[in-house]
Structure 1
């Protein structure tokens, strides 16, 4: 049995203001899950709330990234709180918030050893500010944690890179523009966009990830799950919609295989916006699919 610790990380600092609201609603995700009984259903043994700074539209002149200073401060706070809970006897579940919460998680794990990252996302999130239309860290988080970008964010506490690119799998992107994919294809990250994932096969990709864990003698691995990796017809409550995506059976196959490995250390879930799901249709479907998967971790 492993203790399941839930971290509420309701930061929306990595996103710009949306047309439908004064600020992005992703910060409401953890509270909604708790209200709907998710924490109880997955057998959470402890819940830790990490209060996030207020959202603003400020673009930092040094990094050219929105809310950069606040993100750095929040990431350090996350890393401190999360780091105290990392052990072989715990499974850590971080609930966002936007994808910039990955930075704090990454720093926490870097301070504990060498960890791999399985990055499940409908985008690569591997770009620099000069290529971003939003200047939001939520679209650059994978680049940042792999050391690609401005030192102020990529080298906090002189820890760059938080995840070594050779130990990172980026899976599920379906934005196939050549210029968009060019940076990640030129990196050491193991990259499997959705079309290639389906061609190669989920089992083969996961086996390759496990081979890397063993070959590089990693201490464990962490999963980043951005819900926009799911098909838009079943998960439209996200900030950056696009057609296509994983089905729930595909997501369940991926996560079940990953959860069966004894070196899994935790997972974060990001980007779901309750403001875009007023009838709770999509959050209820998501919970129904995720609860049985997460419950498997308690049997280890």
Structure 2
């Protein structure tokens, strides 16, 4: 990594059912993120945390679209707008933004900030598709709508805070799927988004899948955003996540995927976020420590 990194915390838990992911940024920092970046020769500039309202001070029913349900949508919009501004400023200053979540709804802000002045590809490592809309979601949780929001699907169409017009569905790739809702899956199959399930990973191997994903996301774009939901990993490796799903990537597979992304992208890595670390559910901060290790691999750390 030949560019400085600016770290932002987004202690957001409004997009999820379980409380606790708001402590994710603190847990990741406590796990030694700054020291790890320093050891790579990266100048880590910490931009602090974006302000997030408390659920107890927020109306969960505010901001619902005409059809469907999206909890805390007004508050989520406000947070994502602030985060997008911070990320856009970091990009303008020549930094690579590294955003620490928080639940996955913060990706709406990260991507919109990075994509303001460039065509952006996205590689999304996740057990879930995050492709629901307010009309299809069974839960109303916005962290399950992030990809749909970024692509302007359903009631997110034309929204100036969520929909990122410079992100083409053909340049969006999801890796690691193993828990997808019925309507969400049908919409994903009909879209131009590329999706790799864990069955695909088992059959082809994660290295081949990751290489294909990077090529698809970078085709004709000015950079690629890497979004890492820690539930991409198997719960035996990352127990401290809000929505664990068995059958995920192993410890070594996680590092391999990040190392391949780093090698293939090089200077085309536009930004990265690590989300859904929940210290309440963790075991001695294992998941946050793994998040730090994976961030280092994505930013250039090698065994030799």
TM-score range, shorter chain: 0.7 to 0.9
8 Å CA contact retained: 2:151, 2:167: yes
Distance 2:123 2:151 in 1: 13
1:266 lines up with 2:300 in the alignment: no
> Is residue 236 of structure 1 aligned with residue 246 of structure 2?
no
| Separation of aligned partners in 2, 1:277 and 1:215 | 38
Which residue is 1:73 aligned to? 78
1:198 to 2:202 alignment: yes
Distance 1:119 1:107, change over 3 A: same
8 Å contact from structure 1 (residues 122, 228) kept in 2: yes
Trace 1:245-264 onto structure 2 (pairs within 5 A). 245-260=248-263, 261-262=265-266, 263-264=268-269
Alpha-carbon distance between aligned partners in 2 of 1:167 and 1:256, rounded to the nearest angstrom: 20
Instruction: Report the alpha carbon displacement of residue 68 of structure 1 after superposing the two structures with TM.
Output: 0.7
SS at match of 1:257: helix
**2:31 match:** 36
Change (3 A) 1:273 1:211: closer
> In the superposition, relative to structure 1, how do residues 88 and 81 fare at CA in structure 2: closer, same or farther (>3 Å)?
closer
Alignment check: 8 A CA contact 1:238 1:276 kept: yes
- The yes-or-no answer on 1:13 pairing with 2:14 is yes
- Give RMSD over aligned pairs: 2.4
TM-score normalised by structure 1 residue count:
0.87
> Greater CA deviation, 174-183 or 77-86?
174-183
Tell me which residue corresponds to 1:45.
44
Gaps of 5+ in 1: 19-23
Aligned residues of 1:155 and 1:161 also touching (Cα < 8 A): no
Compared CA separation, residues 48 and 141, structure 1 to 2 (3 A): same
1:207-218 alignment runs, 5 A limit: 207-213=211-217, 215-216=219-220, 218=221
Q: CA deviation at 1:290?
A: 2.3
CA contact (8 A) 2:31 2:285 kept: no
Confirm or deny: 8 A CA contact 1:76 1:104 kept in the other structure: yes
Residue 243 to residue 214, structure 1, CA distance change in 2 (3 Å): closer
- What's the offset of the Cα at 1:79? 1.0
Kindly tell me: are residues 10 and 171 of structure 1, through their superposed partners in 2, closer, same or farther at Cα, counting changes over 3 Å? same
Q: Using a 3 Å threshold, how does the CA distance of structure 1 residues 79 and 284 change in structure 2: closer, same or farther? A: closer
Cα shift at 1:254: 1.1
Deviation of 1:91 after TM superposition, in Å, equals 2.2
| Conserved 8 A contact 2:120-2:224 | yes
| Alignment deviations for residues 96-116 of structure 1 (CA, whole Å, 9 cap, x no partner) | 100000111111122121010
Cα distance 1:272–1:178, how it changes in 2: closer, same or farther (>3 A)? same
In the alignment, the residues of structure 2 paired with residue 13 and residue 234 of structure 1 have an alpha-carbon distance, to the nearest angstrom, of: 25
SS of the residue 1:125 aligns to: coil
Structure 2 match to 1:139: 144
Give me the whole-angstrom Cα distance separating, in 2, the residues matched to 1:240 and 1:52: 21
